[in-house]
Amino acid sequence: MTTKQARWKCPQCGAGILAPTKPRMDDVRRYCLPCSGKTGRLVERIAPALEAKREQAVAKRREKAHHKRQVARRRANTPRVQAHRTYSREGEHGMPLKKECARLWKMLAKMPPTLHGARRAISTVTNSKPPRIQLMERGWRVNSEGELFINSGYAGLAHMGRGLITVKPNVSWGTLAHEIIHMAGYQFHDADFYEALKWLTERRFKTRIDFSTVTRYGYAVDWLIRSQIRDLVKAEFSTDNRATPIPQDVSTNEHEGNTQ
């Protein structure tokens, strides 16, 4: 088996010699001895053919990396990715989730002590940061055009003790407030829970919520509150500056929950 060879030339005198493509460091053919004797330092020969191949390989790698960055940039700006990014930041009518969560959390610190459980809730709120908002990975999908499809199931979950709320995209203000009340320490959907939710809703939108028709507490009370503030929420958060994809196949069987 013959060793591949290339012509190596001295960069000073131009004298060439055949040598392996990868000569050993102590191979005399790697250096131009006459020029080394004149300069007092070793003058290393170069292989023009090998240098050209190296430059081509470097250019090919750069082109490949450039193409990879372009593909990643295009994938990062598809309608689907843009929709995911939007829904992770905004609720219904463009409601800023993080900002609204922090605002409601701050309001809970001013609950009147006359509300049952308010002292414990105030202590929880003042000694912790606002809950983090995370988008649910299941129960919804976005097609290539950015259109939203939501399956049935929970609209929101409060992970009590973890400082985390998971919600579906385009989550309503009512669902966000519902889960925040859970995070404040109200675990069960009882009268105390909905009195706290009623107080928070009235303070946030400066309105009065009518509970005169309430006979039992549960998710029906959430829908009662939402029906009375629907126009206020839309007026507060809606904007004409951007187009939000209209949710399709949205199930009305959406509930809130809490996880310990």
Q: Supply the Cα-derived Rg of the chain in whole angstroms.
A: 34
Structure tokens that stand for 218 in this block: 């549960």
Q: What string of pLDDT tens digits covers the 260 residues of the chain?
A: 577 889 999 998 988 889 898 888 888 899 999 999 988 889 999 999 999 999 999 999 999 999 999 888 888 888 877 888 888 889 999 999 999 999 999 999 999 988 998 999 999 999 999 999 988 877 777 777 777 777 767 889 999 888 999 998 889 999 999 999 999 999 999 999 999 999 999 999 999 999 999 999 999 999 999 999 999 999 999 864 443 444 433 333 456 677 65
Confidence at residue 253, expressed as pLDDT on a 0 to 100 scale: 42
Q: How far is CA 158 from CA 4, 82, 89, 164, 239, in A?
A: 69, 26, 17, 6, 28
Q: What are the DSSP calls for 78-145, one per residue?
A: SHHHHHHHHHHHB-GGG-BHHHHHHHHHHHHTT--TTSTTHHHHHHHHHTSPPPEEEE-SSSEEE-TT
